[in-house]
Amino acid sequence: MFHKIKKEELTWGESLGQGSFTKIFKGKREEYIDCDSHQMDVLLKVLDHTHRNYSESLFEAASIMSQISHKHLILVYGICAVNKDNIMVQEYVKHGALDIYLKKNKNKSRVNISWKLEVAKQLGYAMNFLEDKRIVHGNICAKNILLTREGDAMTGLPPFIKLSDPGISITILPIEGKLRIDRIPWVAPECIGNPRNLSLESDKWSFGTTLWEIFSPGDLPLNSLEPSQKLQFYQDYLRLPAPKWSELAHLINQCMAYQYSLRPCFRAIIRDLNRLITSDYELLSDLPPSEI
Ligand SMILES: N#Cc1ccc(Nc2nc(N)cc(-n3cnc(CCO)c3)n2)cc1
């Protein structure tokens, strides 16, 4: 399962924003290693009181991430359940969530094609690790990618990301509820009607949507559509607006195949990303990011 953390170990810091059912805070965790105390930065993910009935799902998310360790997966220290609060304690990642970072650095030269391809490849490695272990994440999106290191084009230092925990699973969201429709187009079509269809294949669909997010600076896919139109998008087998870079568009559409058995495995996805990295995308690199 997961380690139980005492509330006395934790010191609360500033609020860092919120996820869909949680609020996040910076914090410190006091821990004693061979009887001298160490203070480490942690991220405290607190389940909203109004969603206390979802605590099972928060524990499940913590449990999945606690069972495995990989350099591109977030480290979860444990859960602190104190009176009404359920708190997931995880490593503090310096630069926060990728979706916000991409918006903030929309036209910065640092966040260029090779930077984005490197982030996509690292996410592919994390997903390949989960696929090999037959572990379904269930909530792959740019908001759940955390930036440990920004990278530096001058010195060629690449960025470094970690995949966050999946948070509250869609399997417990009310059926035709808005909350589930809001996950379109990240959640695979076969999971909208029946979230029990969450699988290794549905993670591939979400990876495709996340690739689209990474390369479309800060835009949210289908952001302008009403919930009913989002459902219609799947019923009409529609596709996201293709990036100009046709090889990238092809990879995104392969991951977002409506027929889930046609979606490539992550080994193939990583191979294709490596081809994009070595391809002559230099031709593209003098295009403004929005032109990709
Ligand atoms: N300004 C700022 C700033 C904000 C956050 C962090 N650090 C951090 N560390 C983590 N382990 C997780 C997250 N996090 C962010 N959004 C979510 C919800 C979706 O998962 C999780 N942020 C660092 C700087």
Confidence check: pLDDT of 288 > 70: no
134 by Cβ neighbours in 10 Å (0-12 / 13-18 / 19+) ranks as exposed
Mean pLDDT of the chain: 92
ipTM of the predicted assembly exceeds 0.95: yes
Cβ density class 140-179: b for 16+ within 10 Å, e for less: bbbbbbbbbebbeeeeeebbbbbbbbbbbbbeebeeeeee
Which residue's CA is the nearest one to ligand 1's atom 7? 96
| Closest C-alpha to 233, from 183, 169, 280 | 183
Distances (CA, A) of 144 to 32, 38, 174, 216: 30, 28, 22, 17
Q: Which residues contact 208 (CB under 8 A, 6 or more apart)?
A: 251, 252, 253, 254, 255, 256, 263
User: Tokens standing for 216?
Assistant: 């479309």
Specify the higher pLDDT residue, 180 or 285. 180
Ligand 1 pocket mutation, candidates 92, 102, 149, criterion most atoms within 8 A of CB: 92
Confidence check: pLDDT of 135 > 90: yes
Q: What is the 3-state secondary structure (H, E, C) of 133-194?
A: CCCCCCCCCHHHEEEEECCECCCCECCEEEECCCCCCHHHCCCCCHHHHCCCCCCCHHHHHC
Which residue's CA is the nearest one to ligand 1's atom 16? 97
| Predicted pLDDT of residue 133 | 97
| Predicted pLDDT of residue 167 | 92
Note the pTM of the prediction, 2 decimals: 0.94
Work out the average pLDDT over 174-189. Answer: 86
| Closest approach atom of ligand 1 to CA 16 | 4
User: Tokens standing for 192?
Assistant: 């909208």
| Predicted pLDDT of residue 289 | 61
Q: 231-285 pLDDT, tens per residue? A: 999 999 999 999 999 999 999 999 999 999 999 999 999 999 999 998 866 656 5
| Closest approach atom of ligand 1 to CA 143 | 19
| Predicted pLDDT of residue 217 | 72
| Predicted pLDDT of residue 229 | 96
Per-residue pLDDT band at 287 (split at 50, 70, 90): low
For residue 277, how far is its CA from the centre of ligand 1 (angstroms)?
28
Of 18-22, 66-70, 78-82, 122-126, which one has max mean pLDDT?
A: 122-126
| Closest C-alpha to 92, from 68, 103, 76, 104 | 76
Specify the higher pLDDT residue, 76 or 288. 76
> Cα separation of 283 and 281, whole Å?
5
Contact 291, 244 (CB under 8 A): yes
| Closest approach atom of ligand 1 to CA 91 | 11
Q: 19-67 pLDDT, tens per residue? A: 779 999 999 999 888 888 889 999 999 999 888 889 999 999 999 999 9
Task: Please give the share of the chain, as a percent, with pLDDT higher than 90.
Answer: 76
For residue 94, how far is its CA from the centre of ligand 1 (angstroms)?
8
Work out the average pLDDT over 60-82. Answer: 94
Confidence check: pLDDT of 158 > 70: yes
Work out the average pLDDT over 213-234. Answer: 92
Work out the average pLDDT over 141-156. Answer: 94
Work out the average pLDDT over 143-150. Answer: 98
Work out the average pLDDT over 14-19. Answer: 92
